[in-house]
Amino acid sequence: MKTTPLTPSSNLSRRDALKTLGASAAFLGIGLFSARSFAAAQRASARKTTTAGLIDGQYPFALPPLGYDYAALEPHIDARTMEIHHTKHHQAYITNANKALESVPALQALALGEMLQNLDSAPEALRAVLRNNIGGHANHAFFWQIIAPRVGKMADAAPSGALLRAIETTFGSLDAFKTQFADAAMKRFGSGWAWLVIAPESGKLSILSTANQDSPLLSHAVPLLGLDVWEHAYYLKYQNRRAEYVSAFWEIANWSRATSIHASVLDT
């Protein structure tokens, strides 16, 4: 596995820095601060803990609550899988990331996305463990937001507004997008993720898949949807039937959240 960051960002321009900070905030769903004020962005970046209480995007990381019960996604994802995934797998990424970051003060004050974009400031021997575990925390913190039960106003069953228009323009139709996203999820060999991402600079949407716990933030893309296709995410219920799990994703995808992240990235 490569251990070098895809895009070194030590020479970030002010505009790039704003984009990165704003995008990271949107990605994490914390603060959602307007990145128009660089001073405000710097303050937010320096903040050690979030006050939103939803997701802790700053070192030391803590396990964020799901916002719904482990059984809330039944029958699409079973309660036992959710509980193990959250309390064991996600917690392990957090524990290991915090441990590795103990000896890398240069990264400790950065927001989660910035850490991933500045792995080259860590000792080379630690870069892989940081990439895997900070990435694992970022990916799962996002995942819990982007799946949600379709009860009340918690999650829309389809994208709306600018995101819907962008999907139709980019992929032809919502159904065509779903087919291509599922294809990316199915073709990811071994463990990894499928993503719908937006490039903050151009606003362009694309589908990608990443191996292991690589985050789209490594390449400065902001995820709008993400699907964990590690076997630990579906094996208890679906065993080897990944296609059924991928198909079930559309029953729990939180399009309200994706639509609002999309809007906040465009607004940054």
Cβ 232 vs Cβ 212: under 8 Å? no
Tell me which of 56, 114, 214, 228 binds Mn ion, using CB under 5 A: 228
Tell me which stretch binds Mn ion (CB under 5 A): 40-48, 73-81, 218-226, 230-238: 230-238
Minimal distance, residue 70 CB to Mn ion, in Å: 14
Of residues 147 and 265, the one with the C-beta less far from Mn ion: 147
Cβ 231 vs Cβ 207: under 8 Å? no
Q: Which residue is nearest to Mn ion (CB)?
A: 228
Of residues 140 and 262, the one with the C-beta less far from Mn ion: 140
Could you give the CA distance from residue 80 to residue 61 in angstroms, rounded to a whole number?
24
Minimal distance, residue 76 CB to Mn ion, in Å: 16
Minimal distance, residue 138 CB to Mn ion, in Å: 12
Tell me which stretch binds Mn ion (CB under 5 A): 64-72, 124-132, 156-164, 231-239: 231-239
What's the distance, Cα to Cα, between the start and end of the chain in Å?
Answer: 33
Mapped onto helix, strand or coil, the DSSP state of residue 73 is: helix
Both tokens of 86, joined, read: 């959250």
Tell me which stretch binds Mn ion (CB under 5 A): 69-77, 99-107, 223-231, 257-265: 223-231
Of residues 144 and 177, the one with the C-beta less far from Mn ion: 144
Cβ 188 vs Cβ 232: under 8 Å? no
Could you give the CA distance from residue 193 to residue 218 in angstroms, rounded to a whole number?
14
Minimal distance, residue 165 CB to Mn ion, in Å: 31
* Helix or strand (DSSP H, E) at 47: none
Could you give the CA distance from residue 91 to residue 132 in angstroms, rounded to a whole number?
13
Both tokens of 59, joined, read: 């070192």
Minimal distance, residue 85 CB to Mn ion, in Å: 6
Q: Which residues contact Mn ion (rule: CB under 5 A)?
A: 228, 230, 233
